[in-house]
Structure 1
Amino acid sequence: MKFSDGYWHMRPGVRPLYPAEVHDVAVTPESLTVYAPTARIGHRGDTLNRPMVTVECRSPMPDVIAVTVAHFLGGRPRRPAFPITTDPGTAVRVAVDDDSASLTSGALTARFDRRDGWRLEFLAGDALLTASGSKAMAVLDTDAGGPYVREQLRLGVGECVYGLGERFGPLVKNGQEIDIWNADGGTSSEQAYKNIPFYLTNRGYGVFVNHPGRVSFEVGSEAVSRVQFSVAGQALEYLLIYGPSPAEILRKYTALTGRPALPPPWSFGLWLSTSFTTSYDEPTVLGFVDGMAERDLPLSVFHFDTFWMREFHWSDFEWDPRAFPDPPAMLKRLKDRGLRICVWINPYIAQRSALFAEGMAHGYLVRRPDGDVWQWDQWQAGMALVDFTDPHARRWYADKLRALLEMGVDCFKSDFGERIPTDVVWSDGADPERMHNYYSYLYNETVFEVLRAERGEGEAVVFARAATAGGQRFPVHWGGDSESTFESMAETLRGGLSLAMSGFGFWSHDIGGFEGRPAAEVFKRWLPFGLLSSHSRLHGSQSYRVPWLFDAEAVEVLRRFTRLKARLMPYLFGAAVTAHREGIPVLRPTVFEFPDDPAATHLDRQYLLGDRLLVAPVFTATGETSYYLPAGRWTHLLTGEVVAGPRWVRETCGFDSIPVYVRPGTVLPVGARDDRPDYPYADGVTLRVYELADGQAVTVRVPAADGSAAARFEVRRDGDRVRARRDGPANAWALLLVNTDSVRAVEGGASHRTESGVRVDVAADVPECVAVLPTDPHPPGTS
């Protein structure tokens, strides 16, 4: 929301109150409170009829300072509020003298200037991160909409802003106006399904506005050298988080707001959907499943979209008997084929559904202020909304899902949850404005928790669309309704990168796009992008997404990359464990891993998958593409070509290829199976060694399904030798690869020389393999 009219004036009807000086302070062992009148106090008379702004600083955990800006303090607490995890042992240092008043937590300090005028600075040591200066912080009375509280934090020269949810415009948010307000707007607009009031910058800090309702951001778009954020009401709280790296910022942010559960390994395989409005029944479903098997295409999950229920009945959680006369038997037949089952749900109850009368009778549906059930005709005729603030309604809804799980369903696509009205009354007295975004949290939490209770820890997974801060706890989230075009493919990636910078660890998207039928070239280019994401789903709107309906080459491309992903699971699931434990996303913008490379700041057509693989999807039918490789010798995962960065690369790719490069200094664990994503990753694992520097040592942990370490390897290069040693049984690994040159470790005491001259010696009495490199360890044809 914009309040000013240019630099000098305010818009008509806007009356600002600015803190003018630090008049007084109050100190406790945990906090520093500053009392700031809205004009300089020269004598006692100046204190009369004078508003005051109260600013409190405290620290919920080291390197994080929470700032509360308030005018009137007499308002009642409003619900809901984000669940914030604090560290009760956090120590702060408060210092007050004639020149300044400050609170320090870890390496971060909030310092108020007491000498002249108004200035709040945030420092890391002695380095200034950002500041709120003159006429930046304000309480604003308006003729339309009531009071607001606003803050503006300085943007430095070259400072770039990232995050604020899954946004489909440019990755760098500078110059954008963003409202944190969930909407069902597709991927081609400024609206977003997942709005997160958190951003981070390339200057080493992040900002989380602790308000679950509408937060308006002006990112260098009103005051061009400031990030402005504002909320309606008399108070605003924001938390400034010091990194300094993007990874450290997200570790601390997700420690505050929650880290994702670890999805089950099977969920990383290929999901196939019936699609949205397509006609289907049991023979259709079994035909798709058999068609995948006949073409040797590994499939992990089959998803039934909306019309598994009868039209006008969404949601009643009852199978359409015309298409599915015996659902338990059908589900058993699918599970006998080794598949997991997902079904589509949403939190809306159509008037035609039997659940409408049931929910109305028990008070489980959201009501208007006059006591009537809130209803409208969008999406489903006469639909109502489940009131998830009522614990009885949550149990009622969960019981409906539990019956499906007992029937054989394994997981749910928890669709919708964005169009939440504000002219309603919630059972717990929640503020309707604050519930609009927060509804998605309660909805997905309800679904996720029943899965966890029924399927066990580590087996729960949803496919969710809507989210707010903290929603990352309930993976996986997918990118919403995209068009079937290259442009929409690119905007989908931008949305995923932006969501990653907002603390979400796992992300997927509809391969080929959702709306329309993709051209074969769009579908085939989208396939490797989809398979080189954390989760991979074939889904569309009005047309099926089985590859043989496009062309024979699409079948080959899908097979190649589905099997590649299965081989990469020891690495990918390791990245998933990191996301679960540390809050570091699986998919990451290039700038996340290379924050000091000025060429990386705006890159939004490529990404890092984990910390070792750089992927650049191809957005053209011809295969012409360009991408950027940071400094170092990068090895193409598929071809073995070595390219020295930093440099831009231009090339033309076939449909069966994609630029996917291994970062120098990598030891990549590659699995022994390519037919499924869930298998013992340490058994027969291959260690691929890429451009290890002399003296460099790398520890590789191969995960088990529960996230623990199934195997641990120490790999080190000393001169012309690369030594790999395993902690544990030697028979659980098969290969050591140096760049693209394989060295088979089969018998203790054996020696082997490869075609390009690498010699391997396998010790007879220890689980150790040593590769002896030739003078030039790079295969012919590399650069």
Structure 2
Amino acid sequence: MKFKDGYWRMRPGVRASYAAAAHDVTADRAGGSLRILAPTRPITHRGATIDGPVLRVDVSSPMPDVISVRTVHLAGSVPDSPAFELRGEPAAAGISVDAGHASLTSGSLTARLRRDAPWELVFSAGGRELTRGDGRSLAVMEDAGGRHFLAEQLRLSAGELVYGLGERFGPLVRNGQTVDIWNDDGGTASELAYKNIPFYLTNRGYGVFVNHPGRVSFEVGSETVSRVQFSVEGHELEYLVIHGPTPADILRRYTALTGRPALPPAWSFGLWLSTSFTTDYDEATVTSFAAGMAERDIPLSVLHFDCFWMRRYRWCDFEWDPETFPDPEGMLRRLKERGLRVCVWINPYIGQASALFDEGRRLGHLLRRPDGTVWQDDHWQAGRALVDFTSPAAREWYAGKLRALRDMGVDAFKTDFGERVPTDVAYADGSDPERMHNYYALLYNRTVHDVLAERGPAVLFARSATVGGQRLPVHWGGDCESTFEAMAESLRGGLSLGLAGFGFWSHDIGGFEGRPDPAVFKRWVAFGLLSSHSRLHGSSSYRVPWLFDEESVTVLRAFTRLKARLMPYLYGAAVRATTDGLPVMRAMQLEFPGDRACDHLDAQYMLGPDLLVAPVLSAGGEVSYYVPAGEWTRLLDGGTVTGPGWHAERHGFDSLPLLVRPGAVLPVGAREDRPDYDYADGVTLQAYRLADGDHRTVTVPTVDGGAGAVFEVSRAGGRVRARRVEGAAGPWNLLAGGVRAAAGPDTDEIEIILEGAT
């Protein structure tokens, strides 16, 4: 929030007390920390120590190259729950204290504090300043209503750009924006977001994570244009500065601290088809959809049943509507005989008409008001109540209902909602309601994910999230319109979420609200099948392709089969997301931080490290996109595009800019009828523009995330050689320079001589 009126004056009724100096500094060298007392006025004599706020500032390091700064005003007013689970281990920090300065060094990152006035805390790495808080930066604020806030401002250098803060649907660069970290059900076309993450990173080699689960207000060059300001209501503010130096390094360290994604099952990367929301559907409907896809040779992996699999007014009671689905166990068995997985929609709310309302109230599992009555309103479901997930008994009660569905044959849950969480409540474990507003989503999704994970790799289709939610994939972008503009805003939201460590992301192909024009549908299909997860879903209309036009069938078939062939590459990127925190879909700036032309790009992305995708956002096929340096290869037709530079093209509905990075070796599978198969069996290693002396190691995963086969591919002069160094015997192939060489099951090395040595 903004506290100032311009640069010099405060807003009416706002009183600011700024840290003036580091008056006392205590070094704990064994523990690797500094404790500072920072009065908010100059201490020129003993009498000046009477009255007025004094801030306690603790500086420490939870892991190498990460420094925490925790400021406390009134310690007795700091809630202790909920709190984010951080996984770092205290680093061996170096402490230095002299008459003029105190410093703490962790890895290559140093925080250096001036001991006299004015207040100054500088963060640097390798002798280069990254950012600083100085002068009127760290403060206690009191507004006209008597509310207390802690605020910090960190300097932005000239040309410094800020990214992140979770799922945001506006421009990818956050400079000039006001962002409140407060989950809300606001669609994809406003400043509201379902997944708010108090973490940002900049192009200057560092990131900042504000370790506060409730509302955090960011002014990103929007109150003071040369500062990022963040503030929280209350008496504690902790932020962690994370050194890179690259954006990928920052994400690796941030996700090491807050958690990395679990690996979704390989089948979840195939095509999902939903019943849609308010459409009419029964077993005959979904069976006709499944049969129609099979008849048209469109591989289908998952059938999703949206809200009305349950009876109206009774969401959620987790009971199939007996009129519409009289034999759910038989239906699920029949769908599985078709090779399909099943997902059903749920949410954390219990409508008053549900039998679970009385049960949950009697057992004390529903969220209550401070006076002890059950919290209810009429939003979404008449008389809805919320499950109190802070109660272990309530979590187990809810999980038990899901286990019954899982045991019936349900493979995944779409965990919808979890954003409009009230604050006029009393949680079972005493958690602070304001801090629980965002955190509720984590407890909800973790409860559901844990149920599925009891049987092996698990996948959700979740909408709400906070810090740590990345551990529980997959998330989708929420309710968007069926337009090209909504397609673009959805992409921006997904790329922004990826910059918060969320490795897997999806969206409603064709858009949710309204019925898309066939052109929108077909363009969105290409984008959707070149995303980590791919789901056809709508609100009041079906999304089967033959209801749009016959070309939609052709386009969906082609891109679904393409994704299946790319699974050895995509699942390899998925495995790496679980080990290093880098998302499958990546903002260009994440892969090319030294290319300033990539700084603002938000209409194209990298799919894994080696594929550039530029979705076509026009009916006529016009698309303009940027190519970084090198000679890139068009995956779909083998042509080349040279960078650095912009390219303007026109594409049919069966095409889009899909480029392979020069020097890449892409493992491409031998099957296109399903996403889960033996990726190493018959794999083709497609080498693109290897330079003389290049050497690449390619790991082809198994469907459970293991290393199915490891190959080494190198070029020496006009020869490209590939060698299998690990993995069971099986046929495989090498493709380089337009020449293909096949290896038999027992052949571990093959070579291609390039014509003209190009």
TM-score range, shorter chain: over 0.9
C-alpha displacement at 1:76, in angstroms? 4.9
Whether 2:593 is the aligned partner of 1:591: answer: no
Instruction: Tell me the residue number matched to 2:407.
Output: 406
SS at match of 2:166: coil
Moved more, 482-491 or 707-716: 707-716
C-alpha displacement at 1:448, in angstroms? 0.1
1:422-464 deviation line (CA, Å, top 9, x unaligned): 00111001100011000000000000001111x22xx211000
1:565-615 deviation line (CA, Å, top 9, x unaligned): 000000000000001111111000000000010100000000000000000
C-alpha displacement at 1:73, in angstroms? 2.1
1:123-171 deviation line (CA, Å, top 9, x unaligned): 0121000000110111112222511000000011111111101110010
Q: Which amino acid aligns with 1:710?
A: G
Instruction: Tell me the residue number matched to 1:60.
Output: 62
Q: Which amino acid aligns with 1:738?
A: A
Q: Which amino acid aligns with 2:749?
A: E
Moved more, 136-145 or 304-313: 136-145
1:721 to 719, 724, 728: 719
SS at match of 2:77: coil
Instruction: Tell me the residue number matched to 1:46.
Output: 48
Whether 2:386 is the aligned partner of 1:385: answer: yes
Q: Which amino acid aligns with 2:12?
A: P
C-alpha displacement at 1:745, in angstroms? 3.3
Q: Which amino acid aligns with 2:332?
A: L
Whether 2:745 is the aligned partner of 1:768: answer: no
**How far apart are the structure 2 equivalents of 1:308 and 1:600?**
45
Instruction: Tell me the residue number matched to 2:463.
Output: 465
Distance 1:145 1:178, change over 3 A: farther
Instruction: Tell me the residue number matched to 1:304.
Output: 305
2:580 to 579, 582, 598: 582
**How far apart are the structure 2 equivalents of 1:278 and 1:381?**
21
Whether 2:662 is the aligned partner of 1:664: answer: yes
C-alpha displacement at 1:117, in angstroms? 1.4
Q: Do the aligned partners of 2:729 and 2:745 also contact (CA within 8 Å) in 1?
A: no
Percent of aligned pairs with the same amino acid: 66
C-alpha displacement at 1:36, in angstroms? 1.6
SS at match of 2:239: strand
Whether 2:716 is the aligned partner of 1:735: answer: no
**How far apart are the structure 1 equivalents of 2:35 and 2:321?**
61
Task: After TM superposition, list the pairs within 5 Å mapping 1:700-719 onto structure 2.
Answer: 700-719=698-717
C-alpha displacement at 1:730, in angstroms? 7.6
Moved more, 58-67 or 107-116: 107-116
User: What 5-or-longer segments of structure 2 have no aligned partner?
Assistant: none
Instruction: Tell me the residue number matched to 2:225.
Output: 224
SS at match of 1:197: strand
Instruction: Tell me the residue number matched to 1:499.
Output: 497
1:87 to 84, 89, 100: 89
**How far apart are the structure 2 equivalents of 1:85 and 1:746?**
46
Instruction: Tell me the residue number matched to 1:648.
Output: 646
Instruction: Tell me the residue number matched to 1:757.
Output: none
Q: Which amino acid aligns with 2:734?
A: L
**How far apart are the structure 2 equivalents of 1:728 and 1:543?**
49
1:31-67 deviation line (CA, Å, top 9, x unaligned): 1112122222222222222432221100000000010
**How far apart are the structure 1 equivalents of 2:352 and 2:75?**
43
Instruction: Tell me the residue number matched to 1:686.
Output: 684
Q: Do the aligned partners of 2:708 and 2:727 also contact (CA within 8 Å) in 1?
A: no
Q: Do the aligned partners of 1:349 and 1:355 also contact (CA within 8 Å) in 2?
A: yes
Whether 2:320 is the aligned partner of 1:319: answer: yes
Task: After TM superposition, list the pairs within 5 Å mapping 1:138-217 onto structure 2.
Answer: 138-144=139-145, 146-217=147-218
1:79-98 deviation line (CA, Å, top 9, x unaligned): 1000111214x200110112
Q: Which amino acid aligns with 1:768?
A: E
C-alpha displacement at 1:374, in angstroms? 0.6
C-alpha displacement at 1:72, in angstroms? 1.9
Q: Which amino acid aligns with 1:620?
A: S
Q: Do the aligned partners of 2:22 and 2:117 also contact (CA within 8 Å) in 1?
A: no
Q: Do the aligned partners of 1:270 and 1:537 also contact (CA within 8 Å) in 2?
A: yes
Q: Which amino acid aligns with 2:367?
A: V
Instruction: Tell me the residue number matched to 1:630.
Output: 628
1:71 to 70, 73, 76: 73
Q: Do the aligned partners of 1:684 and 1:731 also contact (CA within 8 Å) in 2?
A: no
C-alpha displacement at 1:729, in angstroms? 5.9
Q: Which amino acid aligns with 1:14?
A: V
Moved more, 52-61 or 341-350: 52-61
1:298-345 deviation line (CA, Å, top 9, x unaligned): 000000000000000100000011111100000000000000000000
C-alpha displacement at 1:708, in angstroms? 1.6
Q: Do the aligned partners of 1:98 and 1:115 also contact (CA within 8 Å) in 2?
A: no
Instruction: Tell me the residue number matched to 1:25.
Output: 25
**How far apart are the structure 1 equivalents of 2:634 and 2:742?**
22
C-alpha displacement at 1:19, in angstroms? 1.1
Instruction: Tell me the residue number matched to 1:433.
Output: 434
C-alpha displacement at 1:390, in angstroms? 0.5
Instruction: Tell me the residue number matched to 1:744.
Output: 742
1:539 to 522, 537, 540: 537
Distance 1:497 1:729, change over 3 A: closer
Q: Which amino acid aligns with 2:436?
A: M
**How far apart are the structure 1 equivalents of 2:745 and 2:272?**
40
C-alpha displacement at 1:471, in angstroms? 0.3
User: What 5-or-longer segments of structure 1 have no aligned partner?
Assistant: 749-765, 778-783
Q: Which amino acid aligns with 2:500?
A: S
Q: Do the aligned partners of 2:18 and 2:136 also contact (CA within 8 Å) in 1?
A: yes
1:714-773 deviation line (CA, Å, top 9, x unaligned): 00000000000002468424321114432333598xxxxxxxxxxxxxxxxx51101011
SS at match of 2:556: helix
Q: Which amino acid aligns with 1:451?
A: L
Instruction: Tell me the residue number matched to 1:756.
Output: none
Instruction: Tell me the residue number matched to 1:564.
Output: 562
SS at match of 2:381: coil
Instruction: Tell me the residue number matched to 1:271.
Output: 272
Q: Do the aligned partners of 1:22 and 1:113 also contact (CA within 8 Å) in 2?
A: yes
1:629-684 deviation line (CA, Å, top 9, x unaligned): 00011001101111110010100000000101000110000001000000011111
Instruction: Tell me the residue number matched to 2:8.
Output: 8
Task: After TM superposition, list the pairs within 5 Å mapping 1:59-138 onto structure 2.
Answer: 59-88=61-90, 90-138=91-139
TM-score (norm 1): 0.95
1:204-252 deviation line (CA, Å, top 9, x unaligned): 1111100000000000000001000000011100111001111111111
SS at match of 1:74: helix
Q: Do the aligned partners of 1:730 and 1:768 also contact (CA within 8 Å) in 2?
A: no
SS at match of 2:196: coil
Q: Do the aligned partners of 1:301 and 1:339 also contact (CA within 8 Å) in 2?
A: yes
1:250-269 deviation line (CA, Å, top 9, x unaligned): 11111111111000000000
Moved more, 767-776 or 645-654: 767-776
Q: Do the aligned partners of 1:640 and 1:739 also contact (CA within 8 Å) in 2?
A: no
**How far apart are the structure 2 equivalents of 1:97 and 1:55?**
18
Q: Do the aligned partners of 2:606 and 2:612 also contact (CA within 8 Å) in 1?
A: yes
**How far apart are the structure 2 equivalents of 1:747 and 1:144?**
76
**How far apart are the structure 2 equivalents of 1:77 and 1:436?**
14
Across the aligned residues of Structure 1 and Structure 2, the Cα RMSD in angstroms comes to 1.1
Q: Which amino acid aligns with 1:139?
A: V
Whether 2:548 is the aligned partner of 1:550: answer: yes
Q: Do the aligned partners of 1:398 and 1:447 also contact (CA within 8 Å) in 2?
A: yes
**How far apart are the structure 1 equivalents of 2:728 and 2:142?**
71
Q: Which amino acid aligns with 2:142?
A: D
Distance 1:739 1:413, change over 3 A: farther
Task: After TM superposition, list the pairs within 5 Å mapping 1:610-625 onto structure 2.
Answer: 610-625=608-623
Distance 1:688 1:73, change over 3 A: same
Distance 1:619 1:76, change over 3 A: closer
Moved more, 226-235 or 37-46: 37-46
**How far apart are the structure 1 equivalents of 2:166 and 2:40?**
34
C-alpha displacement at 1:20, in angstroms? 1.1
Task: After TM superposition, list the pairs within 5 Å mapping 1:339-350 onto structure 2.
Answer: 339-350=340-351
**How far apart are the structure 2 equivalents of 1:72 and 1:25?**
19
